[in-house]
Structure 1
């Protein structure tokens, strides 16, 4: 967030925490990009702060609550606080349990087991969610619009737009059973806690094949996930970084060092497409 937004976002989080009876004397910034993640002390609660236009926060914390109550491997809303989205001064704030990460990397077998249990829990939840292809189309709109992605060169625009179109078709054509997914269960959204792996960040939950989720995990995780379509995983492993690359070229993107990542993503996409074309 920009400096002026940052100060207001922190103030909104601490004010809301105080209004629900939490004691906050110190705020520790855990992540600052399109959204702000804070650790509030001494109540030791995690606050996620998003612009008010983000209306996913309420659905996100409601879904996490249902999964946590059923024993799913997810970070739970803050104890003793109503699990809902709070609005203040142009921001939406949700309050979560803070978990200490005790291991920097979750072993592939444990990662896969957590995903299997997560997907089983998600199959028991009936909530409205976009299809994964809606997210692909969001990325394509960024690429298609020179207004939204003014710094993207024409040749790169054609490459990225064509890849998103073709890969979306390939995944839809191969996909079998679909269900509710996390949407982005990459290592940054998996905490290795003392109680086991826990997934966080539900803003991108969607519907689609489990292979779409697996494409966000390290490659060897799929080796431990039963019954997956490996060719579909391979298609998703090119589609997902293509989507991420598109978002890095969005003029409003606030991801740290995003432009460098966008350039690197284009290079990796070219390499992946050449590999797919090689017999």
Structure 2
């Protein structure tokens, strides 16, 4: 967020938590992008604060968490001391979550695959109306094809992303018999190593699709430990995921830190992923 918006978001999170009876003497910014994650101390609560335009996404994330809490899913829990809902204050949507102190040890590929198996099993046990992953691809494709929204994207790179997004999405979605609910973006930044075990966070990206779409967000060795995973499909999904990532970075209003670096890195990763699956 811009500095002025970040200050407003922090104050909205602090004030809302205080009104709900949580003691807040200090606020630590854990993550700052299109929305922010704040650690509130000493109550030790994580506040997720998004612009009110993302209210529907925040409400969807809370609903996903509520439903998964009843099926022993390995996900971060909503804060139990307040109502499990989204609060709106000063044009921000605010939700409150349990804070987990991270454990520094690296996550082994086999452990990553195991938590995937448990999470996917839990997702199969809940009934939730979620978009198909192709809806997200279509949204990224619209950004790429709209020169006003991505004015700095060079024509050659626009052609690369447009062809990758459209072509791979169509090819992967032909057969939907094996589709199920997925996390949507279970990359290493969204998997916490805590004293309670491995827990997925950022549930607003929940969608339907093949399990390989989730596995493609993890380090490459993880999919090899997931029984029955289609390795070729993982490679194609990884190329598609990098194309979506790149599309978001070229948006005029993207606020990801170090965006210039990630614009270049994202396109390099798209080309490398396409080459690995013979589509370069």
TM-score by length of 2: 0.96
Aligned mates of 1:271, 1:102 — CA distance in 2: 32
1:172 match: 173
State the partner residue of 2:21.
21
Show the counterpart of 2:47.
47
CA contact (8 A) 1:170 1:235 kept: no
> How far did 1:269 drift?
2.0
The number of residue pairs the alignment matches comes to 279
1:115 CA displacement: 0.8
Residue 93 of structure 1 and its aligned partner are, at CA, apart by 0.4
The unaligned stretches of length 5 or more in structure 1 are: none
CA distance in 2, matches of 1:65, 1:42: 25
**Residues 1:269 and 2:274 are matched in the alignment:** no
The change in CA–CA distance for 1:275 and 1:207 in structure 2 (over 3 A counts) is: closer
68-77 or 209-218, larger mean C-alpha shift: 68-77
Instruction: Give the alignment's Cα RMSD to 1 decimal.
Output: 1.5
Shift of 1:170: 2.0
Partner of 2:156: 155
TM-score (norm 1): 0.96
Contact 1:190 1:200 in 2 (8 A): yes
Match for residue 84 of structure 2? 83
Is 1:110 aligned with 2:103? no
SS at match of 1:213: helix
Runs of 4+ in 1 over 6 A off after TM superposition: none
Which stretches in structure 2 are left out of the alignment for 5+ residues? none
Alpha-carbon separation, structure 1, partners of 2:225 and 2:212: 13
In the alignment, is residue 12 of structure 1 matched against residue 12 of structure 2?
Answer: yes
- Structure 1 residue 173 displacement after superposition: 2.8
Structure 2 match to 1:212: 213
- Deviation at 1:259? 2.4
Asked if the contact 1:85/1:93 (under 8 Å) is kept, the reply is yes
